[in-house]
Chain A
Amino acid sequence: MKDVTFGQFFPAQSFVHKLDARIKILLSIAFMVAVFMVQAFQFMGFVACLLFVLVVTALAKVPFGKVLRSIKGILFFIVFSAVLQLLFNKNGTTLWHWKFITITDKGLLNAGFIICKITLVVLGASLLTLTTSPVDIADGIESLMYPLKWIKFPVHEFALIMSIALRFIPTLLDETDRIIKAQKARGANFESGNVFKRAKALVPVLIPLLISAFRRAEELADAMDARCYSGSKNRTKYKKMRLTWRDAIATLVVGGLITGVVFLNITGFLAVVL
């Protein structure tokens, strides 16, 4: 249970770590948009995006292996999408044919691009979570959602829910570990049997866990009440987020990347048209 890492924050002192969380979230989204804007058959676009990821990783002083590890989780999804492209794209010239399976050159190329796109998007997202602590991300999201207050969306409460959830993940993991051990000591078996048997074996773990989560929630609510916590009105922040020159540079770089991709798209489009 200890091996489960949620939020893979890698603490370090770096340019990327010091960026404002809000900017980082926005720039990550911008980066993903840029990746998806890259048209197929434009190697340069992918090369630029990959280069960007590499440079950011180096700047952030995060071991590259850690960044790559994030792909492991969705490897199945990547392979699945690539295979779909490979099998069902019937455009282009046929390279190989066997019964109902037809593989075309376009299918092959598209599969390659799908792999590149998803991989790059995941790498970008994991760079965000690697260089920003969960608390900062929650703070950033709260700040970014601030405009929603106009439509009476409870932004502060939403952010509070997020940060409490994040804070309790390690606690509940510890608790789960302890309950699993206690039930194992009473002969519970989680390792053998079919899916249904295993699911049923989890009941003695889930019920105590749920009860303890409710107990903790109640205790936390009491503790907050005791300190006169009352929502968002007139609350000040301990850690104020401020934009610095770093954020300006980062924005410029990502902006440049997007412009480059758009430029490549336009020239590619013109080349086809003309």
Chain B
Amino acid sequence: MRIEAKDLTFTYSKKSKAISNRALENVSLCIEEGEFFGIIGQTGSGKTTFVQHLNGLIRVQKDSGSLSVGEFDLTAKKCDLKALRSRVGMVFQYPEYQLFAETVKDDVAFGLRNFKKELSLEEEERRVKLAIETVGLNYEEIKDKSPFELSGGQKRRVAIAGVIVTEPEVLVLDEPVAGLDPVGKRDFMKLLHRLHASFVKTIILVTHDMNVVSENCTRCAIFSHGKIHSVGSPKEIFSNYEQLIELGLDIPVTAYLERELKKLGIDVDSDLTESDFADKTAKAIVGGKQ
């Protein structure tokens, strides 16, 4: 599903349309199907407000631009939000705080039961099992446990299983790696790539972690004060170190190293992923000596 926002504006307080109250201002952005899209920006820059528009949690306000997700026109008054939400999954920050059911199985099945009521019990179980196994947990071992007796990492996985169980085409994640240790982070990103390779066609990742962006995203957008500052590949975005610092952001380690190496006269032109950077740096240094 292609996502297209045009001049999207959002004001939190309904009464005053004052510019200072605007969480979003004339945001125009196109996200093609198949992208692994990163959204970065300071706290309060409007990233979360923007992504919550994508599945209709926040409705497009009157005369405030247009937004379409696939065949869904979110500007229209009548929009089948249920169908939309089953196809655009959303993982919130600290998703483990949304668990509520008595067993892991019931919790994961919650979305399925809401969206696809006609499903047979066997089909439901098959899908729940698939979702739990996709997030890397053992179904038989965990299905009848209470979600509250799991460890923090397991809870988060179960919560994510509860979102992907409906096999959404677009998956939006708001700070999904916050509070995870390095291994947990890496495992989590691997999981996202696995999903991206199967039924999830588009992944939209809201994050503060520039390394996650450079390592995984095909393109990214910088939000600043409710506006889009720039859109492009990580390489393009992170080439302007000074501007990013000015916006209160940072650049990934690889971009930083590349910059420092350039000062030493070693020109490494990688795509900023760790493996590519390592390869090209090695080549540049060895090549330089020769």
Kindly provide the distance from the CB of B237 to the nearest chain A CB, expressed in whole angstroms: 28
A182, CB-defined interface residue at 8 Å: yes
Dominant secondary structure of chain B at its interface with chain A: helix
Closest residue of chain B to A204 (Cβ to Cβ) is B100
How many Cβ-Cβ contacts under 8 Å join chain A to chain B?
A: 59
Does B98 sit at the interface, judged by CB under 8 A?
A: yes
Report if A188-B95 is in contact (Cβ < 8 Å); known contacts: A181-B52, A203-B100, A208-B100. Answer: no
* Bound-state Cα–Cα, A154 to B82, Å: 51
The verdict on B256 contacting chain A, using a C-beta distance below 8 Å, is no
A48 sits at the interface (CB 8 A) = no
Cα of A67 to Cα of B256 in the assembled complex, Å: 57
A189 CB within 8 Å of chain B: yes
Q: Mark B90-107, 1 if CB is under 8 A from A, else 0.
A: 101101011111000000
From B110-118, B126-134, B178-186, B274-282, the one touching the partner chain is B110-118
Q: Select one of B89, B92, B99, B114 contacting A181, CB under 8 A.
A: B92
- Asked if A211 and B148 sit within 8 Å, CB to CB, the answer is yes
Closest CB in chain A relative to B166 CB, distance in Å: 8
Interface residue? B225 (CB, 8 A): no
Of A179, A185, A188, A207, the most chain B CB neighbours within 10 A belong to A185
Chain A hits for B97, CB < 8 A: 175, 178-179, 182, 208, 211-212
Contact assessment for B110 and A207 in the assembled complex, using a CB-CB cutoff below 8 Å = no
**B201 on the interface (CB 8 Å rule)?**
no
Which residues of A sit under 8 angstroms from B111, Cβ to Cβ? Answer: 186-187
Report A-chain residues with C-beta under 8 Å of the C-beta of B101: 204
A69 within 8 A of B: no
Q: A189 — which chain B residues lie within 8 A by C-beta? A: 82, 114
B216 at the interface (CB under 8 A from A): no
A208 with B85: in contact, given A185-B163, A187-B114, A188-B114 (CB under 8 Å)? Answer: no
B90 touches which of A2, A185, A204, A211 (Cβ 8 Å): A185
- The CA of A182 and the CA of B101, in the complex, are separated in Å by 14
Dominant secondary structure of chain A at its interface with chain B? helix
Within 8 A of B (CB), among A179-234: 179, 181-189, 203-205, 207-208, 211-212
The distance in angstroms between the C-alpha atoms of A183 and B162, with both chains bound, is 10
- The closest CB in chain B to the CB of A178 belongs to B92
For the complex, give the distance between the alpha carbons of A179 and B99 in Å: 9
B98 contact from A2, A183, A203, Cβ within 8 A: A183
The number of chain B residues with a CB under 8 A from chain A is 25
Q: Are A182 and B114 in contact (CB under 8 A)?
A: no
Instruction: Report B-chain residues with C-beta under 8 Å of the C-beta of A212.
Output: 97
| B57, B97, B162 interface centre (most CB from chain A within 10 Å) | B97
Checking A175, A181, A183, A187 against B115 with a beta-carbon cut-off of 8 angstroms, the contacting residue is: A187
B199 close to chain A: CB less than 8 A: no
Query: Contacts A181-B92, A204-B110, A211-B148; is A187 near B86 (CB within 8 Å)?
Result: yes
Complex contact A2–B162 (CB within 8 A):
no
Interface pair B95/A182, CB less than 8 Å apart: yes
B179 to chain A, nearest CB (A): 14
A207, B95: Cβ atoms closer than 8 Å:
no
CB contact list, A154-169 vs B, under 8 A:
none
- Nearest chain B residue, comparing its CB with the CB of A212: B97
Q: Return chain B residues, CB-CB under 8 Å to A205.
A: 100
Interface residues of A in 1-25 (CB under 8 A from B): 2
Structural contact, A186 and B148, CB atoms closer than 8 A: no
Shortest beta-carbon distance, B125 to chain A, in Å? 18
Name the distance in Å between A172's Cβ and chain B's nearest Cβ: 12
A residues less than 8 Å from B99 (CB atoms): 208
Q: Quick one: given A187-B86, A187-B115, A188-B114, are A182 and B12 in contact (CB under 8 Å)?
A: no
Of A178, A187, A189, most buried by chain B (CB within 10 Å of CB) is A187
- CB of B115 within 8 A of CB of A185, answer no
Question: What separation, in Å, do the CA atoms of A186 and B95 have in the docked complex?
Answer: 12
Instruction: Tell whether B55 is near chain A: CB-to-CB under 8 Å.
Output: yes
* Residues in B whose Cβ lies below 8 Å from that of A175: 97
Contact residues in B for A2 (Cβ distance below 8 Å): 12
| Further contacts, 6 of them, CB under 8 A, given A178-B93, A182-B90, A185-B89 | A182-B92, A187-B86, A187-B114, A204-B101, A205-B100, A208-B97
Report, nearest first, the 9 A-B pairs whose CB atoms are least far apart.
Answer: A187-B114, A186-B111, A207-B100, A185-B90, A182-B98, A187-B115, A204-B100, A182-B92, A181-B57
Binding site for B on A (CB under 8 A): 2, 175, 178-179, 181-189, 203-205, 207-208, 211-212
